[in-house]
């Protein structure tokens, strides 16, 4: 196939010959295998379970919130998944087939996520679903994936305590993100007291349960307070006053979505200067995507624990950032979850080609040990528990909306979704 002939509709968002040529260049650099592509196997051979696979195409699903309070966080994931799909198509597709996609809107509503995932699996017969963001949306989708034997590639950092044969978790779990960041705050910044603040749903509550156990039982330190507010909440003056009264060393924040805009602006209006680190604010939920909506001047000096920042200095990331901006505009930013979403289609492609089949049961057997050496974060590998080995990094927010990396684990951290003593 001449990759410059990819249509600019359905399975491609390319906007001209120049962009398609740049896709060809980048796709060549991120190919997971360098051997010559074998003859396209027959559809009967690679699809024995009625998936949407033809002699020429394979259809996947994209399921994120593009409306509602979570859209500020999830739109980047959609963009990254489409970029990966376009690059894979430009490099020859998967088992000789071009990828089509059906996109659905979870609308920041958990029952809607369940309904749309069922539609994708039962009506559209997609071969994979790249989607969900909050743990509540993942929990809503999970029973559907397991009932109909679909495969979800979930990109968000989350609380752990889960392992499903029908999910690949491309974001970090709690031991990789939460525990490492608390250790850093205690060891590097001398923190003795923490105020836990989050949105009111499963991820922040479970994350803070783990954080409290670690702070009190493992580090022997103090939790000064713990508060939760509904998704979309915009009035934080009460908790800000409580924080001023308690004077914790660290605010450990897991506020998500549009609520972040109000929270950080109100913190600044209350006279809290994060660059003074009194208190130090450590977030596990504010990526560059959220800062774009919050404003860099409102988060200057906060710290975030992630595995990826757009500012990472490596060749893989340089190529990824350039391609993302060429596709969506120079003013676009890339956060941790956006990058993790980008990994999903590439890891799916690797598993399918290793299995020689699109059948879910066959690719599941091949996940353990699959590597992606061209990941923008540097390098990842799938663990037998369907999570990724990855590094943890701490970044400090700058006024330009980017993070400056101030800490990085020396080695990849093994994923441990069921850590002893935290369940």
Query: Would you place residue 394 in the very low, low, confident or very high pLDDT band (cuts 50, 70, 90)?
Result: very high
* Contacts with 151 (C-beta within 8 Å, 6 or more apart), sequence order: 128, 129, 145, 166, 167, 168, 348, 360, 363, 364
- For the segment 297-312, the average pLDDT, to the nearest whole number, is 98
Which tokens go with 280? Answer: 């130090």
Please write the tens of the pLDDT for every residue from 200-212.
999 999 999 999 9
Which tokens go with 1? Answer: 């196939």
pLDDT of 422 reads 86
Segment (H or E) for 404: strand 403-408
- For the segment 106-130, the average pLDDT, to the nearest whole number, is 98
Query: Would you place residue 421 in the very low, low, confident or very high pLDDT band (cuts 50, 70, 90)?
Result: confident
Which tokens go with 354? Answer: 């290793």
Which tokens go with 217? Answer: 């039982």
How many of the other CB atoms lie within 10 Å of CB of 192? 16
pLDDT of 23 reads 56
pLDDT at 12 over 60: no
Query: Would you place residue 307 in the very low, low, confident or very high pLDDT band (cuts 50, 70, 90)?
Result: very high
How many of the other CB atoms lie within 10 Å of CB of 25? 12
Query: Would you place residue 11 in the very low, low, confident or very high pLDDT band (cuts 50, 70, 90)?
Result: very low
Question: What DSSP string describes 128-187?
Answer: -EEE--SHHHHHHHHHHHHHHT--EEE-S--------TTEEE-S--HIIIIIHHHHHHHH
Please write the tens of the pLDDT for every residue from 74-100.
999 999 999 999 999 999 999 999 999
- For the segment 8-33, the average pLDDT, to the nearest whole number, is 46
* Contacts with 196 (C-beta within 8 Å, 6 or more apart), sequence order: 208, 211, 212, 223, 225, 226, 227, 252, 254
pLDDT of 234 reads 96
- For the segment 384-400, the average pLDDT, to the nearest whole number, is 97
Please write the tens of the pLDDT for every residue from 28-68.
555 543 333 447 899 999 999 999 999 999 999 999 999 99
Domains, the chain, ordered by start: 47-172+314-390 (3.40.50.2300), 175-306+395-408 (3.40.50.2300)
pLDDT of 22 reads 54
Among candidate residues 185, 246, 188, 257, the one with its CA nearest the CA of residue 221: 185
pLDDT above 90 covers a percentage of the chain that reads 87
pLDDT of 329 reads 97
């Amino acid at each position: 196939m001449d990759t410059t002939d990819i249509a600019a509709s359905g399975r491609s968002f390319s906007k001209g010959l120049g962009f398609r040529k740049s896709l060809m260049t980048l796709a060549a650099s991120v190919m997971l295998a360098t051997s010559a592509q074998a003859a396209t196997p027959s559809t009967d051979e690679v699809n024995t379970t009625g998936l949407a696979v033809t002699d020429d195409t394979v259809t996947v699903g994209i399921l994120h919130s593009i409306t509602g309070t979570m859209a500020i966080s999830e739109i980047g994931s959609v963009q990254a998944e489409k970029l990966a799909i376009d690059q894979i198509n430009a490099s020859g597709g998967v088992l000789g087939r071009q990828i089509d996609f059906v996109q659905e809107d979870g609308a920041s509503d958990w029952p809607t996520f369940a309904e749309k995932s069922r539609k994708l699996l039962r009506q559209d017969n997609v071969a994979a679903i790249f989607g969900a963001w909050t743990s509540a949306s993942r929990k809503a989708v999970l029973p559907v994936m397991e009932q109909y034997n679909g495969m979800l590639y979930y990109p968000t950092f989350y609380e752990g305590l889960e392992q499903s044969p029908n999910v690949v978790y491309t974001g970090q779990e709690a031991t990789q993100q939460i525990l490492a960041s608390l250790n850093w705050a205690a060891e590097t910044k001398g923190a003795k007291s923490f105020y836990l603040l989050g949105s009111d749903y499963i991820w922040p509550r479970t994350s803070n349960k783990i954080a409290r156990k670690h702070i009190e039982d493992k580090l022997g330190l103090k939790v000064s307070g713990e508060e939760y507010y509904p998704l979309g909440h915009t009035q934080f003056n009460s908790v800000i006053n409580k924080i001023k009264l308690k004077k914790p060393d660290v605010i450990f924040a897991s506020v998500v979505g549009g609520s972040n805009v109000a929270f950080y602006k109100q913190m600044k209006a209350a006279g809290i200067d994060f660059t003074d680190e009194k208190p130090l604010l450590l977030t596990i939920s504010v990526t560059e995507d959220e800062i774009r909506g919050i404003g860099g001047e409102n988060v200057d000096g906060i710290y975030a624990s992630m595995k990826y920042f757009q500012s990472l200095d490596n060749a893989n990331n340089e190529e990824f950032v350039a391609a993302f901006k060429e596709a969506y505009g120079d003013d676009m930013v890339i956060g941790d979850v956006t990058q993790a979403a980008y990994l999903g289609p590439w890891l799916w492609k690797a598993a399918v080609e290793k299995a020689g089949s699109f059948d879910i049961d066959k690719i599941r057997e091949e996940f353990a040990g699959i590597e992606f050496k061209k990941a923008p974060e540097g390098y990842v590998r799938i663990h037998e528990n369907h999570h990724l080995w990855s590094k943890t990094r701490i970044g400090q927010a700058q006024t330009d909306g980017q993070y400056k990396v101030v800490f990085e684990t020396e080695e990849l951290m093994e994923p441990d979704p069921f850590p002893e003593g935290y369940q």
